[in-house]
C-alpha cells in the first residue's frame, strides 16, 4: 500500500487464533500479562475484537472481561474508552491499556488479587492474506472492489491497517490520498466511526462516501 501511483491491490484476509498458555485470574495478573504479552496478543484483544463488538457491551476484550468477570465497571469503562485509532504503535497501545489498570489498582489495591469469575485467556492473532486478482486504479473501481469483499477483509483494510501502516488512517484513505489526491474523500473515510458500526455498516458508509465523490 506504500507505493505511490500504484493501483490498489485487493487481498482476501482472515486470521487464525492461537491460544496462549498465559491466563489471568485477577486484575493484577491481567496487568502483569499485559506488560509481557506479545504484540499479536495485544492486537487480537483490541483491534480484532472490534470485528465482533456488536455482541458485547465493549469492543475491547480486556474491558469486557474486567466488567463481566471482575465486576469492575468503572475500570471497564475506562479500558473501553481506549480508542485504537489513537495508537499507531503497539507500545502506545500497551501503555494506553496498562496505565488505567495500574492507576485503578493503586487506588484500590484489594482489586489486584480478587479472583475473577472466570480466567482471562490470552490469545494471539495470526493474520493470513492472499492476493485477489482485481486491482483498482480509479475511485469507481475501488468502490466496486469493496462491494465484493468479505467482511473480514474489510476489517483488514479498514481497521487492522492502522497498526500495519503506523498511521492514523486506513488502506483505502491512504491510497485515495496518495494516488488520487482526493484528500476530502480520504478524510471522510477516516471519520467513519469503527466503534459504533458493524462491518456491514462500515462497508455501506465507505461506499456511500466514495460514491458521493464519484457522482458529485
Partner 1 sequence: MITEHAATPARTPSIGDYEPIIGAADLNALRAFAKPLRTKRAKMVNATAVGGGIAEILNRLVPLLNELGVETKWEVLTGGDDFFAVTKAFHNALHGGSFEPRPDWFELFLAVNDENRRRLLFDDDFVVIHDPQPLALVEARALLRANWIWRCHIDLSHPHPDVWGFLRPFVERFDGAIFSSPSFTQKLSIPQYLVYPTIDPLADKNRELDPAFVTSVVEKFGIDPDRPIVTQVSRFDRLKDPVGVIQAYRLVRRFADCQLVLAGGGASDDPEGGLVLREVQEAASQDPDIHVLNLPPWSHLEINALQRASTVIVQKSIREGFGLTVSEALWKGRPVVAAAVGGIPSQVIHKVTGLLVHSIEGAAYQIRYLLANPDVARRLGENGHQHVKENFLITHNLKRYLLLFLALSAKS
Residue with cell 504503535: 89
Beta bridge partners of 139: none
Q: Is 121 in the site for partner 1 (CB under 8 A)?
A: yes
User: At its nearest, how many Å lie between partner 1 and the CB of residue 104?
Assistant: 24
Candidates 33-41, 52-60, 93-101, 135-143: pick the segment binding partner 1 (CB under 8 A).
52-60
Q: Is 196 in the site for partner 1 (CB under 8 A)?
A: no
- Count of residues near partner 1 by CB under 8 A: 25
Q: Are 22 and 37 in contact (CB under 8 A)?
A: yes
CA distances from 73 to 1, 62, 63, 67, 87 (A): 40, 12, 9, 5, 24
Of the candidates 168, 186, 162, 166, the residue with the CA atom closest to the CA atom of residue 176: 186
Beta bridge partners of 124: 18
- Which listed residue (2, 5, 55, 216) binds partner 1 by CB under 8 A? 55
Nearer to partner 1, 18 or 214 (CB): 18
Summarize as ranges the residues that interact with partner 1 (CB under 8 A): 12, 14-19, 21, 52, 55-56, 118-119, 121, 123, 126, 128, 130, 132, 148-153
Amino acid at each position: 500500500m506504500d507505493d505511490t501511483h500504484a493501483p490498489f491491490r485487493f487481498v482476501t484476509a482472515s486470521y487464525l487464533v492461537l491460544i496462549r498458555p498465559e491466563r489471568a485470574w485477577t486484575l493484577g495478573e491481567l496487568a502483569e500479562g499485559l506488560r509481557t504479552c506479545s504484540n499479536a496478543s495485544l492486537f487480537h484483544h483490541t483491534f480484532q475484537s472490534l470485528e465482533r463488538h456488536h455482541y458485547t457491551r465493549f469492543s475491547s476484550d480486556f474491558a469486557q472481561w474486567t466488567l463481566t468477570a471482575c465486576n469492575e465497571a468503572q475500570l471497564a469503562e475506562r479500558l473501553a474508552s481506549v480508542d485504537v485509532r489513537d495508537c499507531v504503535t503497539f507500545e502506545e497501545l500497551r501503555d494506553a491499556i496498562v496505565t488505567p489498570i495500574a492507576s485503578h489498582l493503586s487506588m484500590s489495591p484489594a482489586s489486584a488479587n480478587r479472583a475473577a469469575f472466570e480466567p482471562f485467556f490470552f490469545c494471539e492473532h495470526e493474520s493470513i492474506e492472499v492476493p485477489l486478482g482485481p486491482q483498482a486504479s480509479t475511485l469507481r473501481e475501488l468502490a466496486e472492489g469493496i462491494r465484493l469483499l468479505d467482511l473480514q477483509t474489510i476489517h483488514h483494510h479498514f481497521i487492522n491497517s492502522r497498526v500495519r501502516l503506523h498511521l492514523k488512517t486506513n488502506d483505502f484513505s491512504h491510497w485515495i490520498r496518495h494516488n488520487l489526491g482526493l484528500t476530502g474523500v480520504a478524510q471522510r473515510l477516516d471519520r467513519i466511526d469503527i466503534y459504533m458500526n458493524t462491518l456491514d455498516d462500515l462497508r455501506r458508509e465507505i461506499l456511500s462516501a466514495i460514491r458521493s465523490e464519484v457522482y458529485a
